[in-house]
A and B are shown apart, each in its own frame.
Chain A
């Protein structure tokens, strides 16, 4: 190889390609670096919010501050202040700072799994905006802190269950009683024996039932006789020739008798008129009057007997007064 030979010239088109490759490479590299810086908020105006918490466990740098599920800020720094409380410094871009108000509440929530979450709640977006550099307390809700209490409660429940299910426990005695019950149910008198406790008691109950059946049969016969009696009574009272029918006949007779009485009284009136007009023939009139009085007395006695008979046959009618005309 001749060292004095001129260096081989690279073709123009190849030079262009190499230059293009280098340019694209540099543009991509620089562009990615700029993009990474942009992503980290280097070119973005932010405001600082400092949260003060008793315990910053689970909080880490670069963690998001979320509002309604959207990340609006990033934790930049976590330090301890002089009072021994954690200061969580959060950068919030100015564009997202509008969601934070003076009345906003900040919380740190930590579940059983996963890291902590910092959340902001703004009840009234009409309140004044949160100023730059504001320091706010943060509420902490830690599920893990409830685990010991939960374990203690669970242990108590398990101990109770162990006491219930252990030897001599309620469950054991209940099962034993259940077994006794099932054995009695499988016995001669079945469920009745199990319920009453022994076969003797069951036999007594069965005997009682048999006697009750006999009593019911007797009552049925008595009921039949009572039905017959009622039918006879009904026939005697309300049937043809019964009490009601006889009473109706007596009433008819009474009406006829009263007609006779009314006629006799009319005669009496006529006789009295004659007696009044004929004063001189008093003796003769007196003899006629005595006869007439005997007829009246006879009629009154008939009426009295008739009323007695009506009262006897119609016991509910107590008014025996007869109004004479």
Chain B
């Protein structure tokens, strides 16, 4: 949209691109990442139970005890916080990088690559920070 000048035209017409284009995309990306994370976590938990105890419900008590050991308040809060931060970064960084694109179409791949690299390093930084908080 930046390269094709749509945002400039919208701004020139008195429209607010932040409200019309950015906020919905950021919200959608955040919700998507949150949903994906929850789904993948649910699948991982179900898979872990199946691998350890099979389809039998007899291992539920032991499994619950292990879950209680793993997911303390701090671990659960940190996990939720990390998921939210990941979602926000995935939503914001690519779009913010897209705003740096010029009107030339050739600048689009460069901007996309730049956004991916920044997203990668941001996610890595968040992961390192969470590990540091956990073990230090």
Contact = CB atoms under 8 A, between A and B. Distances in A.
A and B held together in a complex: yes
Interface of A: 1-3, 21-22, 25, 28-29, 32-33, 35-36, 38-41, 62, 64, 71, 74
A305 B38 CA distance: 147
A21 B31 CA distance: 10
Among A29, A33, A64, residue most surrounded by chain B Cβ atoms (within 10 Å): A29
- The 6 A-B pairs at the shortest CB distance, nearest first, are namely A39-B68, A3-B15, A25-B35, A36-B71, A39-B64, A39-B67
Contact of A71 (B31, B65, B72): B65
B39 interface: yes
A74 B9 CA distance: 65
A71 B63 CA distance: 12
B49 to A, nearest CB: 12
A28 B15 contact: no
B35 A36 contact: no
Contacts of B9: 1
Interface in B29-62: 31, 34-35, 38-39, 41-42, 45
Contact of B67 (A21, A28, A35, A74): A35
B35 A1 contact: no
Contact of A29 (B13, B38, B65): B38
B69 A62 contact: yes
B76 interface: yes
A32 B67 CA distance: 10
Interface residues of B, number: 23
Given A1-B6, A1-B10, A22-B31, A38 B64 contact: yes
A41 B14 contact: no
Contact of B76 (A1, A3, A33): A33
B60 to A, nearest CB: 10
B134 interface: no
Nearest to A41: B68
B106 interface: no
B20 interface: yes
Contact of A36 (B6, B10, B39, B68): B68
B94 to A, nearest CB: 21
A92 B28 CA distance: 45
Contact of B65 (A2, A22, A32, A39): A39
A25 B45 CA distance: 15
B26 to A, nearest CB: 16
A21 B35 contact: yes
A74 B67 CA distance: 14
Nearest to A36: B71
Interface in B1-27: 6, 9-10, 13-15, 20
B34 A25 contact: yes
B76 A36 contact: yes
B68 A32 contact: no
A22 B67 contact: no
A28 B41 CA distance: 9
Contacts of A2: 13
5 contacts: A1-B9, A3-B20, A36-B76, A40-B71, A74-B68
Contacts of A25: 34-35, 38-39
A38 B67 CA distance: 10
Given A39-B67, A40-B72, A62-B69, A3 B42 contact: no
A25 B87 CA distance: 14
B67 to A, nearest CB: 4
Nearest to A61: B72
Nearest to B66: A39
A156 B38 CA distance: 62
B136 to A, nearest CB: 19
Contact of A28 (B14, B38, B69, B71): B38
A2 B9 CA distance: 9
A1 B68 CA distance: 54
A62 to B, nearest CB: 6
Contact of B71 (A21, A39, A71): A39
